[in-house]
Amino acid sequence: MTDQDSTPADPAGDIAVPADVVGKHDAEVERLFGTGGPLGPAVGGFRPRKSQTEMAKAIAHAIAGQETLIAEAGTGTGKTFAYLVPALLWGGKTIVSTGTKNLQDQLFSRDIPTVRKALQAPVSVALLKGRANYLCHYHLERTLANGRMTSREDVGYLREISRFLKMTQTGDKAELARVPENAPVWNLVTSTRENCVGQECQYYEDCFVMKARREAQQADVVVVNHHLFFADVALKDTGVAELLPSANTIIFDEAHQLPDTATLFFGESVSTSQVLELCRDVLAEGLSHARDGANWGAVVSVVEKAARDLRLTFPQDIVRLSLPQIAPSSEFFPALAKLKEELDGMLEVLEGQAQRAETLEQCRTRGLELAQAFKDWQYDPKAKVAPGQEAVYWVEAFASSLQLHKTPLSIAQIFNNQREGVPRSWIFTSATLAVKNDFKHFAHQLGLYDEPAKSWPSPFNYAEQGILYVPQGLPDPNSMGYTDAVLDAALPVIEAAGGRTFLLCTTLRAVKRAAERLRDEFDKRGLKFPLFVQGDRGRTELLDQFRKAGNGVLIGSQSFWEGVDVRGEALSLVIIDKLPFAPPDDPVLAARIEVMEKKGMNGFVHHTLPEAIINLKQGAGRLIRDEGDRGVLMLCDPRVISKPYGRRIWQSLPPFKRTREQAEVIEFFHSGAGKPS
């Protein structure tokens, strides 16, 4: 790995590009990002930032030389423009992949149009999402005809969706704000890879999924998200596979999420909910096209019962167990055998009726794929596995479904295979890729060995703008009553900050306890701080209300640690209850560590700790979002002081002034330093 342990003065210096392209675009980048350049008038409050300009140069070099670049940019660098400017001018056919659909929409609707207009770049741009985001004419028509709505609310939503169909150009459900994105009715009016009728569909020419893919084929820049990108690499079902051969540049923003997302898609999984969806469709199609062919209700009900019985073999709400952890005497094994048997029985019936309708044939094909997936989920502990090909077999139970997973322990080789072939540039960027300026952990997970890695510092003056506060006297984080001890330490600071707080927890149980306790304490103390709790409403709605309140306290877990931007006065205190170590009972983590330790590595030092640090950097990054922001990062976990690895943790965080004195923090707020200037 080149230049991993320092922040370089000249980021172009060690990127292996041909001599004729080194510095090729430097002067132009300087002009565009400099005083008097075109970005100033186009972007309110834009001013030249050295980190942003140097990062843009490095990306321009990587694009010119068809090279890979790992680029970490501190909060406030302006990394989005730093990659968009070179991509729009010199990137050729470019795929930009982001961490979430929200970021995807922001890039497509706001950032790219702004840069394109400023540069007067004649590039066409397309947005491509997974098929579940697009309204399906065929399934909407079928749902309207069947009229099987379970609630009055769904009937109202269906009416809205029918109206939307007549007005929309894209069919993207994000445009229909009146129907929540997670409303169950969407499952009935969108398609899946399994139930799409394809070219046989009477609406094929008008299909929104096909339309989005055609536009993506023709566009210069295509905005996707990581889930879509890797689902395609694994399933070839999202339209990205058709884009990849012609792409010259691929940019992953929020790249720190890639190892987890890629692992999810390069693995295999099958769930009882897929079985229940198939049963629903078999019943509908059987009654529509072959009513006399079978007693469809009876055919389907035994399979549904077997699927539900399999879920019930684990009485707890949420379970994650590796296959060797399930007792051989568990009812899980006979229940799984029973489900396979009943599924085969339904397939026999479909075999005899499938020729009567295309949709019945489709159900049969889906059933065969599901049956095969259940058969493939078989672990042989004696089987010899090639190094790098190891996988863990595990089960995950949710409230009403059970998933069986086979997850690769390393995706480095698989991802490397995807990158071979056509020469192109690959840019990986995020605010959190390194641990104390060392990129090895991130790079090795993706097989990016010996690729150039660079870090550009944030323009913020952290020592002036904020304090890192580690309170004294807190008990061990695993002790009983730890959350209450955190809240005891936090309450005086929340009060001094005038609310304006994010309380980030590592577990949902801590979120629930903190919400109960703070509601009670605010009431007792007469504190008029509005409380916003994850799960009460959608994330976007909670954040909007938190910003508007101006003195709110928001309690959240993992989904609020990243991708959340609250600038100015509304947020001045971020409290983190514990270091975000992955749960030790996570079956994939446990298996990874076992393999590492067989190779003589230390699983904690080489995997668990770097993961926690990158996660912590994301949480800490919520505090200072602007040059005018001021605030306190309150890190409650005493291990950051008491453990030998603590130094590595706080040295990876922004260089805040540090204190352990509550009085100093309260004075910071009372003196007005906690408010933006």
| Beta carbons within 8 Å of 76's beta carbon, 6+ residues apart | 49, 458, 459, 460, 624, 625, 626, 627
At 1 the pLDDT is 34
Residues 6+ apart with CB under 8 A from 524: none
> Which range, 175-189, 504-518, 531-545, has the best average confidence (pLDDT)?
504-518
Grouping H, G, I as helix, E, B as strand and the rest as coil, residue 655 is: coil
Over range 338-364, report the average pLDDT.
Answer: 93
Start-to-end CA distance of the chain, whole Å, equals 41
As a whole number of angstroms, the distance between CA 428 and CA 455 comes to: 12
pLDDT attached to residue 14: 41
* pLDDT at res. 23: 74
pLDDT band at 238 (very low <50, low <70, confident <90, very high): low
Classify domain 462-673 at the CATH topology level.
Answer: Rossmann fold (3.40.50)
Three-state SS at 394: strand
- Where in the chain are the domains? 25-124+424-456, 268-408, 462-673
pLDDT for position 278: 94
pTM, full prediction: 0.86
Q: What is the mean pLDDT of residues 664-669?
A: 94
The pLDDT of 573-578, averaged and rounded, is 96
33-78 pLDDT, tens per residue? Answer: 999 899 988 887 788 999 999 999 999 999 999 999 999 999 989 9
Tell me: pLDDT of 12 over 60.
Answer: no
Summarize pLDDT for 520-563 with one digit per residue, the tens. Answer: 999 999 999 999 999 888 788 889 999 999 999 999 998 888 88
pLDDT range class, residue 152, cuts 50, 70, 90? confident
Out of 64-78, 142-156, 189-203, 478-492, least confident range: 142-156
pLDDT mean across residues, the chain: 89
Under the banding of pLDDT at 50, 70 and 90, the label for residue 17 is: very low
Kindly give, in sequence order, each residue whose CB lies less than 8 Å from that of residue 393, ignoring residues fewer than 6 positions away: 322, 323, 377, 379, 404, 405, 406
Amino acid at 574: V
Residue with tokens 């204190």: 659
The mean pLDDT value for 209-215 works out to: 92
User: Residue 384's pLDDT is what?
Assistant: 79
Please tell me the predicted confidence (pLDDT) of residue 16. 44
C-alpha neighbours within 13 Å on the C-beta side of residue 315: 1
Please give the average per-residue pLDDT across 123-129, as a whole number. 94
Decide if pLDDT at 276 tops 50.
yes
What pLDDT, on a 0 to 100 scale, did the predictor assign at position 182?
78
* Range with the poorest average pLDDT among 242-251, 261-270, 376-385, 454-463: 376-385
Helices 296-312 & 272-289, crossing angle to 10 degrees? 170
Range 109-143 burial, b when 16+ CB lie within 10 A, else e = eebbebbbebbebebebbbbbbbebbbbbbbbebb
Going by C-alpha positions, the residue among 478, 469, 455, 424 that lies closest to residue 669 is 469
Average pLDDT on 439-454 reads: 94
| CA–CA dist 377, 268 (Å, integer) | 9
Burial-class residue 486 by CB neighbours within 10 Å (0-12, 13-18, 19+): buried
Number of H helices and E strands in the chain, helices first, is: 29, 18
Q: What pLDDT digit, counting tens, does each position of 319-344 carry?
A: 889 998 899 999 999 999 999 999 99
pLDDT at 3 over 90: no
- Are 57 and 26 spatial neighbours (Cβ–Cβ below 8 Å)? yes
Q: Read off the pLDDT of residues 72-84 as tens digits, 9 standing for 90 and up.
A: 999 989 999 999 9
C-alpha distances out from residue 633 to 49, 483, 536, 562, 593, Å? 25, 17, 25, 15, 31
Beta strands at 268-271 and 402-408: parallel, antiparallel or unpaired: antiparallel
Token look-up 């870090």 returns 455
Q: What pLDDT was estimated at residue 234?
A: 61
Band (pLDDT 50/70/90 cuts) for residue 432 is: very high
176: Cβ–Cβ under 8 A, 6 or more apart, which residues?
160, 161, 164, 168
Q: Return the structure tokens found at 56.
A: 């843009």
With bands split at pLDDT 50, 70 and 90, how would you rate the model's confidence at 197? confident
Is residue 561 within 8 Å of 555, Cβ to Cβ?
no
